[in-house]
Structure 1
Amino acid sequence: MANKRSAEYVSTLVYLDGPQLIKLKAHKTTIVAMAIPCAENESLFIATSVTQKNWVSYLDGHVDLRFLFTFADIRTNYTFDLLKLKKNKITMLPWEGNIGGQYLPEPRFFASNHTEEDIEAEQEETYSETLQVDGEWDMPDFGSFYSRYSDVYYFLSSAGEYEDEETPEDLKNNIRNAFRDKAFKGGFSYVHFFDAISRNRARTTRLAVDKIKYESPGYINVNGEKTAFKTSKDTILGYLSNRKLAREAYKDIYVYLSKARLLKTAGQDFPTNHPQAAFIKAAGYRLANEIGIPNLDGLFQLVEQNALVFTKVIMSFCRRIEEASRFIAQGRVNFT
């Protein structure tokens, strides 16, 4: 059973004849609380803890308020009387058992229904990039382009965000673990890697499609971080101008690793003092420079200076930027 817990009031999210939905913080944990029926001399709320991932999903409109109270796997429920708020702090008592349906929020209540702005959210800068689209598209085409563009964006921003002193430690851990927890033996190792580096990133860095106009010519507005957008654009255009040399460098590495029977070797089975480590690292750096990947030393540190993992990661990025840049080469996507 959970113990009582102190929380600090942050902001009111819905106000209708009084606070109806509020946000609190218990240390670093987000708490969302909703008013429930009570006596006239009370102002009772039911509250639940929310992970950073679920809170971002709620703000982005990917889950509704009811999800936070009922379906989220990691949560603790509380109750409190808002009239007992003192010096912006409240003591929450554990809610015993399941929450009855009469207290739950209605389905399909999303963050867009808030009547007030979240004070913390107002401090976050948002930036929108417009990608021009033309020609004929179908849904698989769009899904393929956006997936590969996302891979490029998140990979290029990962080292910079990891080294940024303002990035919270839990987000740094997510990036670090993505680079270090995978075997990189081939196949789905890389799919899982690129999926991992896109999860639980800072909200200002995360990609989100804002608007789409499908007509030819049309556009896609994508929200994200300005510097990461610029780096992605410069790298993709640079790759297109140097594609032949990049593909040659990729082929040389692939042939070498294949002959050395290292393509299927797990990263943890390749020691940093391996006799071929220096050559493989140099080959990886050569490919990365031909592609135009910045901050290579930072990426090398993220993989714990494992030359084989570093080079395999660069090769996997090369495959994805090749697919993303193809849409630019076809004239179907253009940067503004």
Structure 2
Amino acid sequence: MVNYEGPQLALLRANNNAILIGYATFIEGYGYPLICCEPVDRYLDAYLRGKLELRVVFERTPKVRLYVVDVASTEADLPLKRVPTENYLPEHGIFSTVHTHPLVAGDTSKAYRQRFLIDGIWEARDFSRFHGRLADAYSLQSIARNLTEGTTSVLDEVFLKASISNREWQGGGSYLSFYGGVKEHLQSVHPLRVAAIEYHSPGYVEVEGSEEGLIEVANAIQKVISSRDDYMQIYGAIRKALRNEGLLAADKSMEFSAEVVRDYVLKQTDKLADMLGLPNSHLLLIACEKNVGVYAKLVLSYFRRINGIATFYLEGRARNPDAV
């Protein structure tokens, strides 16, 4: 993250997949020591977004997750050793804005535009609902797609885990704040912008963003339109199971009454995510701390947004430019 004649501040991944922040210092007997912490997700996210200084991240890390590693070692595996890191806290005033090497390269591909033709009567709230659902679906889909094992975007991974764990998932407020945060995060990583609106009969809404993200969301919309009954059936089955368990409006601490019910909900949720083309569903489950109830609610919320857009198509008020 910071390199001046060698790494001064680095992001590391341990062999148990834990993320560490390490900064260079001097310790007698070490060749090139990095003082490391395995930070709490929400504090790492706040640091990466420039909202928290590095010293505070270290101060708020449990002492059992503080280490030193010698990157000059010739060993095949670099051991993490305990260290009294209170003696080696970073200086005040270090923020992610001083990074010389960005963690995530922005999407350098040419901006892609997706046009949606509109017809009939559209009020301001219709435009808001259409774009809001599209932006929600695009944002979650983009982050999920970036959670690829081995090449995971650390920024997206940490952000998603913190965003999920910081909410109780009891009702509408959790979903609104979650998707609001996701869209804000995406503005600097995979932004979606309204490129043009022309309102007459027919008119169009044109958005600009990642080609892969927009195409995959558009494909999900078409899938729901073509087999809506199948999607509604599996959506209803998952909701019914959660409702019967008292989990639909419960917070994330509530558990299933039996493992067989949990396994059923997990299987159906995986199936729905796959039908929708939502990528890396197994990594989304991990981001949900393997809480199947939260994972199910997240996938159900994604379907509701895709289905909400599909409703405009089924009403005849929206269609793709290449549609007859």
| CA–CA distance in structure 1, aligned partners of residues 232 and 261 of structure 2 | 22
* Runs of 4 or more above 6 Å deviation: 51-54, 164-167
**SS of match in other structure, 1:178:** helix
Equivalent position to 2:310, from 304, 310, 325: 325
Per the alignment, residue 235 of structure 1 pairs with 220
Q: What amino acid is the match of 1:196?
A: G
CA RMSD of aligned residues (A): 3.4
| CA–CA distance in structure 1, aligned partners of residues 154 and 106 of structure 2 | 19
Deviation of the 1:234 alpha carbon: 0.6
1:174 maps onto 2:159 in alignment: yes
Structure 1 residues 52 and 202 mapped into 2: Cα distance closer, same or farther (>3 Å)? farther
Structure 1 residues 204 and 213 mapped into 2: Cα distance closer, same or farther (>3 Å)? farther
Higher-strand-fraction structure: 1
Per the alignment, residue 15 of structure 2 pairs with none
Deviation of the 1:53 alpha carbon: 7.0
1:226 maps onto 2:211 in alignment: yes
Per the alignment, residue 119 of structure 2 pairs with 134
Answer yes or no: is the 8 Å Cα contact 2:106–2:189 preserved in 1.
no
| CA–CA distance in structure 2, aligned partners of residues 253 and 282 of structure 1 | 10
| CA–CA distance in structure 2, aligned partners of residues 202 and 162 of structure 1 | 18
Answer yes or no: is the 8 Å Cα contact 1:242–1:290 preserved in 2.
no
Deviation of the 1:209 alpha carbon: 0.7
| CA–CA distance in structure 1, aligned partners of residues 240 and 166 of structure 2 | 26
Q: What amino acid is the match of 1:297?
A: H
Give the alignment of 1:1-336 within 5 angstroms: 125-163=110-148, 169-201=154-186, 203=188, 205-270=190-255, 276-336=261-321
* 1:44-88 CA distance string (max 9 Å, x none): xxxxxxx9979xxxxxxxxxxxxxxxxxx999xxxxxxxxxxxxx
Structure 1 residues 220 and 204 mapped into 2: Cα distance closer, same or farther (>3 Å)? farther
**SS of match in other structure, 1:210:** strand
* 1:248-288 CA distance string (max 9 Å, x none): 11222222222221212222333899563212211222333
Deviation of the 1:243 alpha carbon: 0.8
Larger Rg: 1
* 1:19-55 CA distance string (max 9 Å, x none): xxxxxxxx99xxxxxxxxxxxxxxxxxxxxxx9979x
Q: What runs of 5+ residues in structure 1 fail to find an aligned partner?
A: 1-7, 9-26, 29-50, 55-72, 76-93, 95-119
Q: What runs of 5+ residues in structure 2 fail to find an aligned partner?
A: 11-46, 54-92, 94-104
| CA–CA distance in structure 1, aligned partners of residues 112 and 189 of structure 2 | 8
Per the alignment, residue 34 of structure 2 pairs with none
Percent identity for Structure 1 against Structure 2: 23
Per the alignment, residue 61 of structure 1 pairs with none
